[in-house]
Amino acid sequence: MSGDYETYSLGDVKLKSAGTIPDAHIAYKTFGDPNNPAIIYPTWYSGAIADNEWLIGTDKTLNPEKYYIVIPALFGNGQSSSPSNKPDLKPFPDVLFYDNVKAQHELLTKKLGITHARAVLGWSMGAGQTYQWATQYPDFMDLAVPFCGSAKTSLHNQVFLEGVKTAVLGGKGASSGGICKGEAIQGEYRTWTDEERTVGLKALGRVYAGWGFSQAFYREKLYGTPVEIDSAN
């Protein structure tokens, strides 16, 4: 079901952090009849639109014959405005859930003509956006269904993420600006070389492999076993 997605121009987006994304855009994909009840299904951290599609199908939880499903992509995921497609915006400004949800609301109301949704739902960072929707636009949806996520990243999780970020930055010989901050910049920002990017990403993979999977995953050697996801269970 994966494939092309569309984009909607947001113009210059002023962020809650006081930064700006000039000529910003949000990527999205829709499924089903626009006359059906709407479902808003944001992407998760680092996830592309296609990664959300495992829940969509006539035999799955999100049935496009019953609902009009909209998957909006997070800023920074590589499809919506991101460092990768905005190479002149260095460093990329701080973006909050607030900014993402505000952009999604504009997409839904101004582009897609949706004034009310049956539900907002999401996994992981998609769950975080779901909580944000429920507080930022509480009357916009009937239901908020966050799963495997939280309204605020815990300190323990922030420490995990800081370790991964520090591993990446080590490839460039740089250091972190602190929890919930980007790179610590001294003087003028310098972009990455191809070699630094490769070294940093390999370091990230080694760190993430240690805490992204369980002891049982390695004990049972599941890393060498293809896994099929049964959405009914």
Domain boundary among 151, 169, 184: 151
Task: Tell me what pLDDT residue 231 has.
Answer: 43
Specify whether 118 is located in the same domain as 170.
no
Specify whether 39 is located in the same domain as 90.
yes
Task: Tell me what pLDDT residue 228 has.
Answer: 58
- Contact between residue 61 and residue 231 where contact means Cβ atoms under 8 Å apart: yes
Q: Which range (49-53, 113-117, 129-133, 220-224) has the least confidence?
A: 220-224
What mean pLDDT do residues 72-98 have? 92
Specify whether 157 is located in the same domain as 133.
no
Specify whether 158 is located in the same domain as 46.
no
Task: Tell me what pLDDT residue 97 has.
Answer: 95
Specify whether 23 is located in the same domain as 48.
yes
More confident residue, 163 or 31: 31
Specify whether 188 is located in the same domain as 145.
no
Is the pLDDT confidence value at 193 over 70? yes
Q: What's the token pair of residue 49?
A: 């639109």
Is the pLDDT confidence value at 64 over 60? yes
When the pLDDT of each residue in the chain is averaged and rounded to a whole number, the result is 91
Specify whether 220 is located in the same domain as 186.
yes
Q: Which range (77-91, 130-144, 192-206, 217-231) has the least confidence?
A: 217-231
Specify whether 168 is located in the same domain as 133.
no
Specify whether 176 is located in the same domain as 132.
no
Domain boundary among 101, 117, 151: 151
What are 108-166's pLDDT values in tens digits?
Answer: 999 999 999 999 999 999 999 999 999 999 999 999 999 998 988 889 888 888 999 99
Task: Tell me what pLDDT residue 227 has.
Answer: 56
Work out the burial of residue 69: count CB atoms within 10 Å of its CB; fewer than 13 is exposed, 13-18 middle, 19 or more buried. Answer: buried
Domain boundary among 135, 151, 167: 151
Q: What's the token pair of residue 213?
A: 């999977």
Range of the domain at 232: 153-233
What is the domain count for the chain? 2
Task: Tell me what pLDDT residue 223 has.
Answer: 83
Specify whether 110 is located in the same domain as 203.
no
Is the pLDDT confidence value at 187 over 90? no
In the chain, % of residues over pLDDT 70:
95
Specify whether 54 is located in the same domain as 145.
yes
Distance, in Å, from the CA atom of 233 to the CA atom of 65, rounded to the nearest integer, reads: 21
Q: What is the pTM of this model?
A: 0.84
More confident residue, 13 or 3: 13
Task: Tell me what pLDDT residue 194 has.
Answer: 94
Confidence label for 232 from pLDDT (cuts 50, 70 and 90): very low
CATH number of the CATH domain containing 87: 3.40.50.1820
Task: Tell me what pLDDT residue 49 has.
Answer: 96
Cβ density class 146-162: b for 16+ within 10 Å, e for less: beebeeeeeeeeeebee
Specify whether 159 is located in the same domain as 146.
no
